[in-house]
Structure 1
Amino acid sequence: MWEKDNSIYQVKEIRTKTTCYLGVGAIDKIDPIMERLSALGHRTVLVVSGRSSYRTCWDKVQKAFERHSVSYVHYDRITPNPTVDSVDEAVALAREAKATAVVAIGGGSPIDAAKSAAILMENPGWDARDLYQLKFVPEKASPLVAINLTHGTGTEVDRFAVVSIPEREYKPAIAYDCIYPMFAIDDPALMTSLPADQTRFVSIDAVNHVIEASTTVAASPYSLLLARETVRLVAEHLPRALKDPTDLEARYYLLYASMIAGVAFDNGLLHLTHALEHPLSGVRPDLAHGLGLAMIVPAVVKNVYPAKPHALAEVLSPIAPGLKGDPSEAMEAARALEDWLFSVGVTSKLSQEGFGEEHIRKLVNLAKETPSLDTLLALSPVEATDQVIEDIYRTSLKPLPR
């Protein structure tokens, strides 16, 4: 059915690049990866992580370093919604040690910070604020290995990174070919200790990726193919992982869903949900990205469904069965999506997270002014006017009317 929304005369770019090792025990691949890096002359690396989660695999990583005579410096102060200041600190550490490659250990925040550091290590004279205010276009970065510890962002296989500029309340995104990780490790056994809320939020991030990637003006048959499978896998396996966090099969398929969702938006790109969430967590750095997305995606679907009814009816069918691809179903589709989010335990709306009518104008301005978000807004299947953006934020203050 989605074929009705796809133009065969619009040439699409199909991307797959990173070598990703997926499966229980994939962490053991760190040994041949370090052997490869050492053979290429990278004998000192910068390790980027959060304060504690890296310990789930640190013993094997350290042993691989030792076995292949790779020394390291470790920056372990990355927080959720990482900042340009943290990136600059990591880069300073790398330069002092003369590191020539980067190993990221963690979820989206450490990997995105590591990608940013990898660019700056190869581009002296610039800092992270320059990078995220788009003051230069990097063409090279230090080689990067991503050991992924969450099943949501897909950043381990794509060319995107997000870092905040706190004094401006900006949360821009960058996308450059030079920051595809050289290797990625997706091992579900490293994710069984994820707390329930983080399990929910990262999985919802993956669903958001494909709702957008299948409906941008750049969406392709490839991004649509990956989108429905992502939603099917998350709908089936998220409840299992919430019931039993140690269920390796559930974690595996959530991780696979996250990975293919990363490939989907690397190709189809993103639009309104991410462009409008970034101002939320730019203003509130403690707000989980996946929660921010969950609060606004039903209103996004309500607004874009009439423009992409066939694609959304197919992509959402695992969680919203019965949609026929009629533009008049927009509210029905949005309510079904919100009901599914509530069913997996994500019931908050913006008003419950401290946002009110008085914040809407500021959020609209940030969506329009934050570097790079204009690119996402331009990819929306409906024109991202101030009125559309205001409607999404306003509708998201409370549950949809029934």
Structure 2
Amino acid sequence: MNNLQKKDFTLRYASTSLYFGVNAIDKVKDSIKHYSRALIAMGKTSGRVSGAFSDVEKVLKDIGISYIVYDKVTPNPWASQAEELAQIVWSEGVDLIIAIGGGSPIDVAKVASVIALSGGRVKDYVTGTRKPIRALPLLAINLTHGTGTEVDRYAVVTLDDSREKHGLSIKYPEISIDDPRYTITLDKKQTIYTSLDAFYHSYEAITSTVSNPFIETMAKESISIIASDLQKLVNDLRNLDLRTNMMYAAMLAGIAIDMGSTHINHAIEHVLSGLEPKLPHACGLALTGPRMVYYVHKAVPELSAKALRFLDPEIKPLSTYAEKAQEAVREFQRSIGFEERLSDYGFTDKDLDKIIEYLFKRLKYMYSNTPFEVTMDIVKDIVKYAL
């Protein structure tokens, strides 16, 4: 991994061509030169601060593609943003969408690209009454080392009326860029959040009921990098070598969940950040994660131990090590400076019934691959731990 930053590469996975490495944007000119009008979807600041927006502007101007900008995407994005974006795409005659950001802009762009050509509203795809038949081409410029959405088919949006946060299997980007330069401007907190997102992607993928040896290989490599390099990166935020390694780990984790699945931790987090959109996605995962690990290790200790041995080599593939597994994850998070609680975001014991209702009545599909029977008592225990 020490020389990874010198090994730029192109990966073809599913229907995505991923360009990985410094200045990767220069490699996409031939792939997009036949388009005439693009829409750039992003948030208010990260696309510009990272330098990605100016790089994209230069490429579009060099090859003569006109463009418009939609910079209203927020963290934990709303369905209405995807629908608004789709309407702009349609009315402006756009033939290429370019998403610049972490999971939120890329996810919104995925959904908008489908709605623009397949019609309907987000809720139609959530309920399954409409299927993604056609979609506009999407170029995804990833700005974090956490999301995985640049290589997977998933998109996450929250329904405005019910505040239900749903994951949709919607489409792959046609082209993606993983350039570690764009992650240099992530502050310490966002560095921690996005990296823990990749950690839980890998841990849930390797322990899901649909895991396989190839998923195990990717997940273990991802976790080994995160365990080795994250603490170093937190203390050296502008280290491009470490950023490169972490972006590679996150990309592996993204493929792992695309081939496999997340499960109960992501399901609970979707409820929490749907109810309180100010809760960052990966922060929510880290809050409930250690206690989730306790139950997972009890259920599938062999798989869990394969992942967690990078945090603590003394963890054995035995159910009796569940407490030690939980503590290993909690101590790892503390070591990198994560000390938040769910109560910091306004949650109390009084919210437990609402959380349970949302999870069991509306998001059952999200925990179907959990390696143990998900009960109300277990979910309450996991959430109480995070308070």
Task: Report the TM-score, using the length of structure 1 for normalisation.
Answer: 0.90
SS at match of 1:157: coil
Cα distance in 2 for residues equivalent to 1:365 and 1:160: 24
Structure 2 counterpart of 1:258, from 228, 231, 250: 250
* Equivalent runs, 1:196-207 vs 2, <5 Å: 196-207=188-199
Q: Which amino acid aligns with 2:123?
A: R
1:308 is the counterpart of 2:300: yes
- Deviations 1:77-122 (CA, angstroms, capped at 9, x unpaired): 1010110111111111111111122111111000000001111011
1:376 is the counterpart of 2:356: no
Alpha carbons 2:293, 2:326 under 8 Å: kept: yes
- Aligned partner of 2:9 in structure 1 is none
- Aligned partner of 2:54 in structure 1 is 59
Alpha carbons 2:209, 2:369 under 8 Å: kept: yes
Cα distance in 1 for residues equivalent to 2:124 and 2:375: 28
SS at match of 2:19: strand
- Aligned partner of 2:140 in structure 1 is 146
- Aligned partner of 1:388 in structure 2 is 378
SS at match of 2:366: helix
1:180 is the counterpart of 2:172: yes
Cα distance in 1 for residues equivalent to 2:133 and 2:254: 22
1:163 is the counterpart of 2:153: no
- Deviations 1:168-226 (CA, angstroms, capped at 9, x unpaired): 121000013xx111111000011101011000000000000011101111111111111
Q: Which amino acid aligns with 1:80?
A: P
Alpha carbons 1:230, 1:260 under 8 Å: kept: yes
1:339 is the counterpart of 2:334: no
Alpha carbons 2:221, 2:249 under 8 Å: kept: yes
SS at match of 2:168: strand
Q: Which amino acid aligns with 2:354?
A: K
* Equivalent runs, 1:147-296 vs 2, <5 Å: 147-176=141-170, 179-296=171-288
Structure 2 counterpart of 1:131, from 112, 125, 130: 125
- Aligned partner of 1:50 in structure 2 is 43
List runs of 5+ in structure 1 lacking aligned partners: 1-14, 398-402
Identity of aligned residues (%): 35
Cα distance in 2 for residues equivalent to 1:112 and 1:95: 18
Q: How many angstroms does 1:131 deviate by?
A: 2.7
Choose 256-265 or 88-97, whichever is displaced more: 88-97
Cα distance in 2 for residues equivalent to 1:171 and 1:100: 28
Cα distance in 1 for residues equivalent to 2:321 and 2:67: 55
1:26 is the counterpart of 2:24: yes
SS at match of 1:306: helix
Q: How many angstroms does 1:26 deviate by?
A: 1.4
Alpha carbons 2:231, 2:335 under 8 Å: kept: no
List runs of 5+ in structure 2 lacking aligned partners: 1-12
Alpha carbons 1:102, 1:145 under 8 Å: kept: yes
SS at match of 2:165: coil
- Deviations 1:51-97 (CA, angstroms, capped at 9, x unpaired): 12222122321222223232222111101011011111111111111
SS at match of 1:278: helix
Cα distance in 2 for residues equivalent to 1:130 and 1:73: 27
- Aligned partner of 1:3 in structure 2 is none
Choose 375-384 or 253-262, whichever is displaced more: 375-384
SS at match of 2:219: helix
Q: Which amino acid aligns with 2:22?
A: V
The Cα RMSD (Å) is 1.4
Alpha carbons 1:30, 1:61 under 8 Å: kept: no
Q: Which amino acid aligns with 2:365?
A: T
1:318 is the counterpart of 2:318: no
SS at match of 2:262: coil
Across the two proteins, how many residue pairs are aligned to each other? Answer: 373
Q: Structure 1 residues 185, 173: closer, same or farther in 2, change over 3 A?
A: same
Cα distance in 2 for residues equivalent to 1:59 and 1:393: 42
SS at match of 1:274: helix
Cα distance in 1 for residues equivalent to 2:312 and 2:287: 17
Q: Which amino acid aligns with 1:29?
A: K
SS at match of 1:72: strand
- Aligned partner of 1:112 in structure 2 is 107
Q: Which amino acid aligns with 1:114?
A: A
Structure 2 counterpart of 1:87, from 82, 85, 103: 82
Cα distance in 2 for residues equivalent to 1:60 and 1:268: 34
Cα distance in 2 for residues equivalent to 1:368 and 1:73: 41
